[in-house]
């Protein structure tokens, strides 16, 4: 069961609140020169001109980008997965995504605007797969590599390999 702070839980359930949840995305891959950090909130102006808005959390700047996402379910039998859509305003993501051939690792964290240095909950080390893009949006799935579907054990006695047994 995911644990979040009491104040955040109260804010999420309140009829009215000033709390603003912020989702931070950290995208990493061995071929990327720098880690890509994105935020769902224009908390502050990180650069005066041209304006770049974003969130500073634990010393790192997360650039604001309009993001729509569907959070994963908390099902016991199903691995969690996100469906995330980024606005393709700057066209920066497409060349980066097309330059890599294996799934980048994505960590999603939730913080509150009032305390961006405290991570309320996180979804670490998801793989970015099923990338779809057009002129307006980039849509990706964030999934966990589910090992439950891998065959076990590695070796089995089958008629094709051990005909004498059958």
Partner 1 sequence: MPAPEWPASLPQVFQSNGFRMTTLDNRIFSRNEVGPPNVRPRASGRYRNVTGRMLFTAAQRDTFWDFYYDDLASGSLSFDLPDPYDPEVEVIRVRYSKDGPPSEETDGADNWFIAMSLDVMP
- What does the binding site for partner 1 look like in residue numbers (CB under 8 A)? 11, 14-20, 40-45, 48-51, 53, 113
Of the pair 40, 88, the CB lying nearest partner 1 is at 40
Question: Which of these, 60, 57, 32, lies nearest to 116 by C-alpha position?
Answer: 57
What is the closest distance, in whole angstroms, from the C-beta atom of residue 96 to partner 1 in the complex? Answer: 24
Strand (E) or helix (H) holding 130: strand 115-133
Q: Which residue has the tokens 């995504």?
A: 97
Of the pair 17, 102, the CB lying nearest partner 1 is at 17
What is the closest distance, in whole angstroms, from the C-beta atom of residue 99 to partner 1 in the complex? Answer: 28
Asked if 80 and 73 touch (Cβ cutoff 8 Å), the reply is: yes
Residue 114 is classified by DSSP as T
What is the closest distance, in whole angstroms, from the C-beta atom of residue 41 to partner 1 in the complex? Answer: 5
What is the closest distance, in whole angstroms, from the C-beta atom of residue 81 to partner 1 in the complex? Answer: 23
What is the closest distance, in whole angstroms, from the C-beta atom of residue 48 to partner 1 in the complex? Answer: 7
Order of strands across the sheet that contains 81-87? 44-47, 52-57, 60-64, 36-39, 21-28, 105-112, 115-133, 137-143, 81-87, 67-70
Of the pair 40, 107, the CB lying nearest partner 1 is at 40
Strand (E) or helix (H) holding 89: none
Of the pair 53, 133, the CB lying nearest partner 1 is at 53
Of the pair 51, 87, the CB lying nearest partner 1 is at 51
The region that residue 48 occupies, defined by phi over 0 for left and psi between -120 and 50 for alpha, beta otherwise, is alpha
């Amino acid at each position: 069961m995911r644990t979040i702070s009491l104040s955040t839980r109260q804010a999420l359930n309140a009829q009215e609140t000033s709390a603003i949840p912020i989702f931070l995305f950290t995208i990493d891959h061995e071929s990327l020169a720098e880690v890509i950090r994105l935020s769902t909130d224009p908390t502050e102006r990180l650069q005066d001109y041209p304006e770049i808005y974003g969130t500073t959390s634990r010393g790192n700047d997360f650039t604001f980008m309009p993001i729509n996402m569907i959070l994963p379910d908390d099902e016991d039998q199903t691995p969690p997965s996100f469906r995330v859509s980024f606005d393709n305003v700057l066209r920066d993501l497409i060349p980066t995504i097309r330059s890599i051939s294996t799934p980048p690792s994505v960590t999603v964290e939730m913080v509150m605007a009032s305390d961006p240095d405290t991570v309320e909950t996180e979804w670490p080390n998801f793989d970015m797969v099923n990338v779809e893009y057009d002129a307006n949006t980039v849509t990706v799935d964030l999934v966990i590599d589910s090992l439950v579907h891998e065959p076990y054990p590695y070796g089995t006695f089958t008629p094709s390999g051990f005909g004498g047994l059958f």
